[in-house]
Amino acid sequence: MSDIFGADYVRAISPYQAGKPISEVAREFGLNESRIIKLASNENPLGIPPSAQEAVQEALCGVGGRYPDANGFILKAALSARYGVPADWITLGNGSNDILELATRALVRQGEETVYSEYAFAVYPLATQAVGAKGIRVPAKNYGHDLPAIRAAMTPNARLVFIANPNNPTGTFLSAAELETFLSEVPPHVVVVLDEAYNEYLDGSLQYDSAEWVRRYPNVLVSRTFSKMYGLAGLRVGFGIAQPALTDLLNRVRQPFNVNAVAQVAAIAAMNDTEFVRKSAELNVAGYRQLVRACEAMRLEYVPSRGNFVLIRVGSDKEAGARANLALLKRGIIVRPVAAYGLPEWLRVTIGLPEENEAFISALRELLA
């Protein structure tokens, strides 16, 4: 590796390992692309909503040759109405990954600190390292966030704390009451990024109004995405909600055209497609049941999940996850190994269509036999 160019903290970054694309697995293992099942990146197995597909096709010719609206006026208006916050409280992102990075770039200097949980989303340490800051990783409790310990880990040097709810890759969930207590105790010099990428999968009884917390606290930034339930992972669109002072800072470091015109149109269609959302939620509930029943039948430990994925312990040695992953790939099934998260005995499996889940279950049964 070259040590001539770049900051030492940038050279120290190990890049994000994405779920393997279908085409790559087909090439590597000599498989037919159309037979490959991808349960690796928590995408909606229904794909892009038909309503969004239509909107995109209609819009493409009209908007494709022009720069997108840098301020996303129409999409922000729709989000503003949905979440009950003014449009100038919203930041659009090229996926919500962009929001996480904008927050880090705008708020954290080299040498300062961010705080996140063990087993939390891999982008938090990456965004932290990219600005030369120090990530404080707080040991997990039952695979989830230990909020009192996270609170205790915030030094005067802390600037940002990331909380994913539900968390990826573990699927653990923090109740509204737990978060409420936590938010009331976070010192004002620390911004809380509440990453709600999987919020749409929560049962109604677990839902809470995070926009209300944004109204109450000037140091809360809620992050949402169209990549998961809304089925637009390939188009890259997400958004943040925060009070105007914080939103203004994020927008200062944002690329003016970070959300493309097609994605803006698709997002509006998807968010209004209540039928698609309902169907996706139902499919997820049934698929979750299917997967955890199979785990129980095979006596495999799993972490109860509130997202559209399940973390499954496929063995008891440090190679178990890698071994099962390879055996699944050979059978044309892509899941996510999570050794990089410190979980080498586990695999994370996205909840797919019933037949995809079934194919995963029978392959797993076969390879563990």
Ligand X SMILES: *Cc1c(COP(=O)(O)O)cnc(C)c1O
Q: Which residues would be at the binding site for ligand X (CB under 6 A)? A: 42, 95-97, 121, 164, 168, 195, 197, 225, 227-228, 233, 238
Q: Nearer Cβ to ligand X, position 268 or 363?
A: 268
State the nearest-atom distance from the C-beta of 99 to ligand X, in Å: 8
Q: Nearer Cβ to ligand X, position 91 or 227?
A: 227
State the nearest-atom distance from the C-beta of 100 to ligand X, in Å: 7
Residue nearest to ligand X (CB): 95
Q: Nearer Cβ to ligand X, position 305 or 357?
A: 305
State the nearest-atom distance from the C-beta of 209 to ligand X, in Å: 20
State the nearest-atom distance from the C-beta of 176 to ligand X, in Å: 18
State the nearest-atom distance from the C-beta of 223 to ligand X, in Å: 7
Q: Nearer Cβ to ligand X, position 195 or 356?
A: 195
State the nearest-atom distance from the C-beta of 96 to ligand X, in Å: 3
Kindly report the three-state secondary structure assignment for every residue of the chain. CCCCCCCHHHHCCCCCCCCCCHHHHHHHHCCCHHHCEECCCCCCCCCCCHHHHHHHHHHHHHHCCCCCCCCCHHHHHHHHHHHCCCHHHEEEECCHHHHHHHHHHHHCCCCCEEEEECCCCCHHHHHHHHCCCEEEEECCECCECCHHHHHHCCCCCEEEEEEECCCCCCCCCCCHHHHHHHHHHCCCCCEEEEECCCHHHCCHHHCCCHHHHHHHCCCEEEEEECCCCCCCCCCCCEEEECCHHHHHHHHHHCCCCCCCHHHHHHHHHHHCCHHHHHHHHHHHHHHHHHHHHHHHHCCCCEECCCCCEEEEECCCCCCHHHHHHHHHHHCCEECEECHHHCCCCEEEEECCCHHHHHHHHHHHHHHHC
Q: Nearer Cβ to ligand X, position 121 or 360?
A: 121
